[in-house]
Amino acid sequence: MTSTNQRLDSLGQNLPVLQGILRGIEKEGLRVDEQGLLATTPHPIVLGSALTNPRITTDYSEALLELITGTHDTVDSLLEELEATHRYVAQHMSHELIWNQSMPAQLPPEAEIPIAWYGTSNTGMLKHVYRRGLAERYGKAMQCIAGVHYNFSVPDQLWSLIGVESASPEKQRSLGYLALIRNFTRYSWLLMYLFGASPAVSNSFMRGIAHPLQEFDTDTLYLPHATSLRMSDLGYQNKAQSDLQLCYNDLETFLKRLYGAVTTSWPAYEKIGTHRNGEWIQLNTNLLQIENEFYSNIRPKRTTGRCERPATALAERGVQYIEVRCLDIDPASPVGISATTSHFMDAFLLFCAVDESTLFPNDGYCRDSYDNFAKTVKEGRKPGLMLVKQNQPIALTDWSHELLERLAPYAKLLDAAHGGTKYSEAVAAQAGKITDSNTTPSAQLLQHMRDQGLSLHDYSLRQSQQHRDALRAQPLSADTLQQYQHIASDSIAEQKHLEDSDTEDFSNYVARYHAALKLPAIMA
């Protein structure tokens, strides 16, 4: 096996390969009214069909927008598209705005939180019923949390250059991405320290649930050293999944566990059932209704066709890219992520792909990684905080500085490949956050609230309004505006076509969808 230095040297001699790295973003954000209350209006028709518009859709709630970019070979073009989509949305919502904070605005009673609606086609109903199931299993409030998902892929040639060996390109690619995911699992706590921006929640979000949070003001709860309550057990709680540990040593084991979770009935969900008053309320009673219900900080991904199951696609064609799911919305950015963060993510993920990545042993090292992450999201800014590295205690600050040093050569390679110094500057910019935790986004958010005497709700509303106004102040070009309008109208026509052409009974469609998940040959 080649060493990390040899891998770096190989990449340095093949810089054009790094120009083929692709990244994309899925950015969530709640629609709220001018008072910051959750919008209960339908998805705006001017934004097109949430089912078929490739750029503007919804996630859990009818009010939870998801703005999606294509894949880009530069950060600049990526954020240019993301900003254009935000500007289109901002300029076409007259009395609403996007809530630019990961933790929800003040929510209405659970029964009044609208579940996303995708029309009457079987495809649309499947998405809707799946979300009904999420409401039954975890409650609606949790599903209103928002984040930024960062998709990342490298050219296949990279895996050969760094010495990943396998019998086929598909297996080589999967081995490379799983090695990336293992390293990401080890080091993703660093992302939460550097970019976590949800140290507080509105008091109403907890809805009477027992919690360890402290009172910031009458409307806001927080933890003094938290970085991302969104990524803590206060956010994506899922006790049923607590034993579903996927440490990504190999694709076969990962898929076997995932397959088991989506085919094994769970007693608590059996009690709920699949129907109530003659209506579907969840797709099945299994531990996971579908693969996407598994909440994780990172996922191996493969594009799928209509009615194709993600696990089957992964088993048959291997991993195509990875999706990072732990980034909070950056409250200071009108589009939820800055160019500096995106440049850092590229360097970090390239490091995770290239650096040596040993398998997780059975002695719990994977558990140490999860514990490090959990500790950082709740108390990452605590002075003297200790983590565990290879079964030994280490100060978060010491390990953070070490990782930045290890990241620096990857940033230099990306700078050399793309021209400029943005990657190195993005990595270097993080050192100050480690030296002084008061400069982290989570600490800055709390300080701004204190300085302005505002609750989380009022501060987030003011900032969201300012971002909305800034986006509206920059009109789209006529050509770009026309492009978005065509995409929206075409998506509406496509949804209608799906609804008009569906002849299959929905129950049969659901049965066929479940049957599409077959035990993959690699697991048989």
Q: With pLDDT > 90 as the criterion, what percentage of the chain qualifies?
A: 85
Query: What tokens does 404 get?
Result: 């930045």
Confidence check: pLDDT of 240 > 70: no
Q: What is the spatial distance between Cα 497 and Cα 453, in angstroms, rounded to a whole number?
A: 52
Confidence check: pLDDT of 375 > 70: yes
Average pLDDT over residues 145-153: 97
Average pLDDT over residues 51-56: 98
CB atoms near residue 489 (< 10 Å): 15
**pLDDT given for residue 127 in this prediction:** 97
- Asked which of 196-200, 218-222, 293-297 is least confident by mean pLDDT, the reply is 293-297
Average pLDDT over residues 71-86: 98
Confidence check: pLDDT of 433 > 50: yes
Considering only residues 307 and 6, tell me which one the structure prediction assigns the higher pLDDT. 6
Considering only residues 248 and 363, tell me which one the structure prediction assigns the higher pLDDT. 248
Confidence check: pLDDT of 230 > 80: yes
**pLDDT given for residue 239 in this prediction:** 61
For the stretch 385-416, pLDDT in tens is: 999 999 899 999 999 999 999 999 999 999 99
Average pLDDT over residues 43-61: 97
Using an 8 Å Cβ cutoff, are 84 and 25 in contact?
A: no
**Would you place residue 57 in the very low, low, confident or very high pLDDT band (cuts 50, 70, 90)?**
very high
Average model confidence (pLDDT) across the chain: 94
**pLDDT given for residue 162 in this prediction:** 96
Beta bridge partners of 217: 220
Confidence check: pLDDT of 247 > 80: no
**pLDDT given for residue 523 in this prediction:** 43
- Give CATH for domain 25-515: 3.30.590.20
Query: What tokens does 274 get?
Result: 């699949």
Which of 153, 116, 151, 121 is closest to 40 using CA atoms? Answer: 116
Confidence check: pLDDT of 305 > 90: no
Which residue type does 151 have?
A: N
**pLDDT given for residue 361 in this prediction:** 83
**pLDDT given for residue 520 in this prediction:** 59
CB atoms near residue 257 (< 10 Å): 15
> What b/e readout covers 306-333, taking b as 16+ CB neighbours within 10 angstroms?
eeebbbbbbbeebbbbbbbbbbbbbbeb
Q: What is the spatial distance between Cα 131 and Cα 292, in angstroms, rounded to a whole number?
A: 11
- Kindly calculate the radius of gyration of the chain based on its CA atoms and give it in whole angstroms: 23
**Would you place residue 524 in the very low, low, confident or very high pLDDT band (cuts 50, 70, 90)?**
very low
**Would you place residue 365 in the very low, low, confident or very high pLDDT band (cuts 50, 70, 90)?**
low
**pLDDT given for residue 188 in this prediction:** 98
Average pLDDT over residues 329-350: 98
Q: How far is CA 522 from the centre of its chain?
A: 28
H or E stretch including 150?
strand 148-153
Whether pTM > 0.75 for this model: the answer is yes
Average pLDDT over residues 359-369: 76
**pLDDT given for residue 242 in this prediction:** 63
For the stretch 460-514, pLDDT in tens is: 999 999 999 999 999 999 999 999 999 999 999 999 999 999 999 999 999 999 9
One-character DSSP codes across 164-227: ---SSHHHHHHHHHHHHHHHHHHHTHHHHHHH--B-EEEHHHHTT----PEEEETTEEE-TT-S
- Asked which of 95-99, 441-445, 504-508, 520-524 is least confident by mean pLDDT, the reply is 520-524
Confidence check: pLDDT of 364 > 50: no
Alpha-carbon distance values, 189 to 1, 286, 334, 399, 437 (Å): 27, 31, 25, 11, 15
CB atoms near residue 100 (< 10 Å): 27
